[in-house]
């Protein structure tokens, strides 16, 4: 198991808690230079007849009314990332809020989205008060993510997030994934398997996986052995010895051949006997090379702090949707490899 990569829990964690995983505290969300990223349910506005949705703050989020709340949510999320210059945590909070609104209609959908966004809104200077102590009912959701040492290299820049959003689908209660293999470039096939005790657990695991992609794929400040997903300017040819030879001038994308995610959220009041859990895995048929350097890095450091923090924010946000009323002060997140080199 990896060693601790980051520790910050408002000074509440004792030294004996420095064990496995990364203990990441919930943070107040910073919306950058923007405020109030919430949604109004309106009628007969902006030339649209009937009911629809629009941003509450049209100065920072200038969009006219539309009948589709998903359009407004996507616009707010994109604006937070770009014009607002908000940190990654704001994007994930918006994603969590979108999951809360999913399946709801009208004012109920707007309220569900706004309730999540308002829970972590930055407090005004006049209303700031000392943070309350963590309650006895607080829980610590745990997520474990393992990456294969084997990699698959595609001869172009492709977006892993598109594949996850397009084909990582689950339904039913408990939720189970559609396991249909889907063809990728170069005659590779990707297959997803997953189970989730709660409808929000599979989306949580998917967003955690997406968080890793976002923090590594184009992050050239990190060495290659610290990047699980990579866009490179070089074509990788595996030759006859399964070695990766880089030819400059050609774009390529590196995926781990397989990633396995497991999550557990203890239910308060069960004495440790009750937990909501889930697991998710993707596998790509045929590997091109390996990234043993990444496995060595994860075994000693636990992973880049930015990726661990982003995943922890996803886990904490979704946990409050899954078990309403719980206090989520931190999340235990660990990265490692599925097999040894």
Residue 210 has pLDDT above 50, yes or no: yes
Residue 88 has pLDDT above 80, yes or no: no
Gap between the Cα atoms of 243 and 292, Å rounded: 12
For residues 116 and 159, state if they share a domain: no
| In a domain? residue 177 | yes
- The whole-model pTM stands at 0.55
For residues 173 and 206, state if they share a domain: yes
For residues 58 and 88, state if they share a domain: yes
Range of the domain at 223: 142-337
| In a domain? residue 168 | yes
For residues 101 and 206, state if they share a domain: no
pLDDT: which is higher, 212 or 275: 212
| In a domain? residue 31 | no
For residues 177 and 308, state if they share a domain: yes
Cβ atoms 287, 186 nearer than 8 A = no
* pLDDT value of position 292: 78
Residue 80 has pLDDT above 80, yes or no: yes
Cβ atoms 109, 231 nearer than 8 A = no
Least confident of 25-34, 40-49, 62-71, 276-285: 25-34
| In a domain? residue 158 | yes
Gap between the Cα atoms of 289 and 184, Å rounded: 17
Cβ atoms 143, 332 nearer than 8 A = yes
Gap between the Cα atoms of 201 and 111, Å rounded: 21
Least confident of 192-201, 209-218, 295-304: 295-304
What's the chain's average pLDDT? 75
| Cis amide leading into 267 (omega within 30) | no
Strand 189-196 versus strand 182-183 pairing type: antiparallel
| In a domain? residue 272 | yes
Q: Could you give the number of structural domains in the chain?
A: 2
Q: Which of 122, 150, 171 is the last residue of a domain?
A: 122
Range 182-206 average pLDDT: 88
For residues 278 and 159, state if they share a domain: yes
| In a domain? residue 306 | yes
Least confident of 89-93, 196-200, 222-226, 252-256: 89-93
For the record, the structure tokens of 39 come out as 């949604």
For residues 226 and 316, state if they share a domain: yes
For residues 167 and 106, state if they share a domain: no
Backbone phi and psi for residue 258, each to the nearest 5 degrees, phi listed first = -145, 145
| In a domain? residue 231 | yes
* pLDDT value of position 138: 60
Using a pLDDT cut of 90, give the percent of the chain over it. Answer: 29
Question: How many residues are present in the chain?
Answer: 341
Reported as a pLDDT band with limits 50, 70 and 90, residue 26 is: very low
For residues 177 and 59, state if they share a domain: no
For residues 198 and 317, state if they share a domain: yes
DSSP three-state, residue 250: strand
For residues 168 and 107, state if they share a domain: no
| In a domain? residue 135 | no
For the record, the structure tokens of 152 come out as 């698959």
For residues 84 and 219, state if they share a domain: no
Range 272-286 average pLDDT: 79
DSSP three-state, residue 315: helix
Gap between the Cα atoms of 76 and 219, Å rounded: 24
């Amino acid at each position: 198991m990896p060693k601790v990569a980051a520790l910050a829990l408002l000074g509440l964690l004792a030294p004996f808690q420095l064990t496995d995983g990364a203990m990441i505290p919930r943070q107040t969300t910073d919306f950058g230079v923007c405020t109030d990223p919430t949604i109004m349910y309106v009628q007969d506005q902006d030339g649209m007849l009937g009911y629809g949705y629009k941003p509450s703050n049209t100065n920072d989020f200038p969009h006219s009314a539309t009948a589709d709340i998903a359009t407004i949510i996507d616009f707010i999320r994109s604006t937070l990332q770009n014009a607002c210059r908000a940190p990654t945590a704001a994007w994930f909070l918006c994603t969590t809020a979108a999951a809360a609104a999913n399946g709801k209609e009208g004012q109920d959908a707007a309220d569900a989205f706004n309730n999540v966004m308002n829970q972590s809104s930055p407090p005004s200077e006049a209303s700031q008060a000392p943070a309350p102590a963590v309650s006895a009912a607080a829980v610590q959701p745990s997520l474990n993510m393992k990456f294969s040492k084997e990699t698959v290299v595609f001869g172009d820049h492709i977006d892993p997030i598109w594949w996850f959003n397009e084909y990582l689908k689950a339904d039913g209660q408990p939720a189970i994934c559609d396991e249909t293999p889907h063809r990728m470039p170069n005659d590779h096939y990707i297959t997803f398997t997953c189970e989730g005790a709660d409808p929000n657990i599979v989306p949580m695991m998917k967003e955690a996986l997406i968080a890793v992609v976002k923090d590594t794929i184009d992050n050239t400040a990190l060495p290659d052995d610290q990047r699980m997903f990579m866009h490179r300017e070089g074509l990788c040819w595996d030759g006859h010895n399964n070695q990766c030879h880089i030819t400059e001038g050609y774009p390529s994308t590196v995926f781990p051949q397989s990633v396995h995610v497991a999550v557990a959220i203890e239910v308060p009041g069960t004495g440790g006997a009750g937990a909501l859990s889930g697991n998710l895995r993707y596998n790509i048929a045929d590997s091109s090379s390996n990234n043993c350097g990444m496995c060595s890095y994860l075994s000693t450091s636990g992973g880049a702090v930015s990726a661990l923090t982003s995943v922890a924010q996803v886990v904490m946000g979704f946990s409050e949707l899954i078990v309403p009323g719980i206090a989520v002060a931190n999340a235990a997140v660990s990265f490692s490899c599925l097999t040894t080199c």
